[in-house]
Chains A and B, each alone.
Chain A
Amino acid sequence: MDKIEEKELWPEEKSLMKAEISRRKFITSATLAALGLAMTPYATLAAAPSNKPVNFASFVEINTTINGQNMKMKLDPRTSLLDLLREQLGLTGSKKGCNQGACGACTVHMGKDRINSCLTLAAQIDGKEVTTIEGIGSETEFHPIQVAFMEHDGYQCGYCTPGQIMSAIKVLEEDHAGSDAEIREWMSGNICRCGAYKGIVEAVKSVRDETYDKKLIKRTQQKVS
């Protein structure tokens, strides 16, 4: 494994090290999974396929589509959809706020609907299509609602934002953005600890009215040296 100085490590890297895998290797395996090439064996422990999860009972096999990629996986049935996304597939955009259905930070789309991925067993996405925050917009363009959130300060820390955006897309699609009050009611499944609600409502309205700044839609490529 790669040698990394202990003092430079983030907590997640430490836990990955403990599981005897480097961050780079982890990302490679996550990418493989995302390409549908890997039969990802254990979804509760992202890092160490040779360790069986604690108190393991049996596997369940699923065939699913995540962000347009078909995948086959073997899972511990206890795995939630949120943990599958974050811990196994490296799709860390969906956030874990409460893990109890009470905050909306984990909101994703399953089929035509938005759902809380924390209260969804990964086994239940068998045969279904899931879209996460990573799957909206394109490589070259943002989704309009992403632009609108930037323009209207629809966030402060950004933790709730992926969930807010996944909800906002459905609120607009399903025509629940008629008035401020209606937007607030239909966005109420997404709690924001920073209290960015005013900006969120403005962002939703600007997409509804198509007044968001279309110049911002292009993703500018930034070289990271």
Chain B
Amino acid sequence: MNPFQYSKAKSADAAINGYMEHDNTAYLAGGTNLVDRIRRDVTHPDYLIDVSELPFSKIEKIEGGLRLGAMASNSDTADDENVKNDYPIVSEAILLGATDQLRNKATNGGNLMQRTRCSYYMSPHFACNKREPGSGCDAIDGHNRILSVLGTSEKCIASYPSDMCTALAALDAVVQIQTPNGGKRSLPLVDFRRLPGDSPEIDTNLKEGELITSIDLPESSKAFAKASHYLKVRDRHSYAFALVSVAAALVMENNMIKDARMALGSVAAKPWRDQEAEAMFIGKKPSRELFEKIAEKTMEGAKGYGENDFKIELGKRAIVKAFMKVAGLS
């Protein structure tokens, strides 16, 4: 394991200043992803700034919605009464991910920032453009069963496996950020993570030194609380990353669909939303045929790379299954 220095930040300003003062620094929250990557020789920070005790660990009501502190644990978030009542798929998605041990340690900010589980990325013996820009991608012609079929590039086909963030993306969550000049900015969660394009080494639109302070859920998304479901398809019943997941949510009025949200997980480098596909729900009566048509449209541009070809059909079936359940038809 490469050597590094460690310090615990007492305030957000101190954390950010510490980050900017040292080269090759990383924030450490729960450590369930970062410590794993350091130990596997995938990443080599010289300096770790522990942000886990910064005062952003509350889940609190704010004007316009609910604020999930970046340092709140995934467990506390899933257990929160407001999350369970008003945004139930967030709770569902978290509890279908990892294990209680991991969720107790994992934070909301860390979950959002977790990197791909691509096995070539996670092993320094292989070529990987994400880990080492320009080295190539051993996954494209390799064992890519868990990797992406949407939004890929010839540089990288990594998938993003966060269950929590798939649900958050469906509900239009917004990421709150503190910047190095003392300012604040926000980014919609759907735009927070990037598709690989020519620079797969850059996962997110977070800039050097920026610190995530919370993820906010808008009041308006409470409308989906009555009819929503998070479907996770995986190799074993528990304690496994998703092969495909669907966050599905509807608002019904007089048996017609008034509003709809759909986000797919583990099929792209970010939680996948397709606004055109979502528009196809509106004003329609829910039916298997409708959901099949929407599933076809969503996976229209999908491209398989061999081992992961099955994800295209699986994705369609998962969409239909999830919405049949939400609409009360299954």
Contacts and interface: CB of A to CB of B under 8 A. Distances in A.
B32 interface: yes
Contacts of B111: none
Contact of A170 (B3, B31, B73, B100): B100
Given A99-B39, A124-B31, A107 B6 contact: no
B105 A115 contact: yes
B2 A77 contact: no
A16 B102 CA distance: 33
Contact of B105 (A76, A80, A116, A170): A116
A23 interface: no
Interface string A94-109: 0000011100100100
Contact of B3 (A78, A107, A126, A185): A78
A56 B99 CA distance: 33
7 residue pairs, one from A and one from B, having the closest CB atoms: A189-B99, A57-B3, A77-B6, A188-B238, A113-B104, A55-B3, A188-B239
B100 A114 contact: yes
Given A77-B48, A114-B100, A188-B238, A121 B36 contact: no
Interface of B: 1-8, 28, 30-32, 35-36, 39-40, 46, 48, 50, 52, 73, 75, 98-102, 104-105, 237-239
A170 B104 CA distance: 12
A126 B99 contact: no
A186 interface: yes
Contacts of A77: 4-6, 48
A138 interface: no
A107 B31 contact: no
Given A77-B5, A121-B48, A185-B238, 20 more contacts: A56-B3, A57-B3, A76-B3, A100-B40, A101-B32, A101-B101, A104-B101, A116-B101, A119-B31, A120-B105, A121-B6, A121-B31, A121-B35, A124-B28, A126-B8, A167-B100, A171-B100, A184-B238, A189-B100, A189-B102
A171 B104 CA distance: 13
A133 interface: no
A9 interface: no
A211 interface: no
A179 interface: no
Interface in A182-214: 184-186, 188-189, 191
A100 B39 CA distance: 9
Contact of B32 (A55, A113, A119): A119
Contacts of A185: 238
A124 B52 contact: yes
Contacts of A60: 6-7
Contacts of A186: 100
A189 B2 CA distance: 28
B75 A55 contact: no
A140 interface: no
A43 interface: no
Contacts of B1: 78
Contact of B102 (A78, A80, A99, A101): A101
Given A121-B31, A188-B238, A78 B4 contact: yes
B163 to A, nearest CB: 15
Contacts of A104: 99, 101
Contact of B31 (A57, A120, A189): A120
A219 B282 CA distance: 67
B238 A115 contact: no
A72 B3 CA distance: 22
B10 to A, nearest CB: 12
A80 B39 CA distance: 10
Given A77-B48, A188-B99, A114 B104 contact: yes
A123 interface: yes
Interface of A: 55-58, 60, 76-78, 80, 99-101, 104, 107, 113-116, 119-121, 123-124, 126, 167, 170-171, 176, 184-186, 188-189, 191
Contacts of A76: 3
Contacts of B8: 123, 126
Contacts of B36: 100-101, 119
Contacts of B105: 113, 115-116, 119-120
A124 B32 contact: no
24 contacts: A55-B3, A57-B46, A58-B5, A77-B6, A77-B48, A78-B3, A78-B4, A99-B39, A101-B32, A113-B73, A113-B105, A114-B100, A116-B32, A119-B102, A120-B105, A121-B6, A123-B6, A126-B8, A167-B100, A176-B100, A188-B238, A189-B98, A189-B100, A189-B239
B2 A55 contact: yes
A80 B34 CA distance: 13
Given A107-B101, A120-B105, A113 B75 contact: yes
A159 B221 CA distance: 46
A36 to B, nearest CB: 22
Given A121-B31, A186-B100, A57 B4 contact: yes
A78 B45 CA distance: 11
A175 B46 CA distance: 42
A126 B28 CA distance: 15
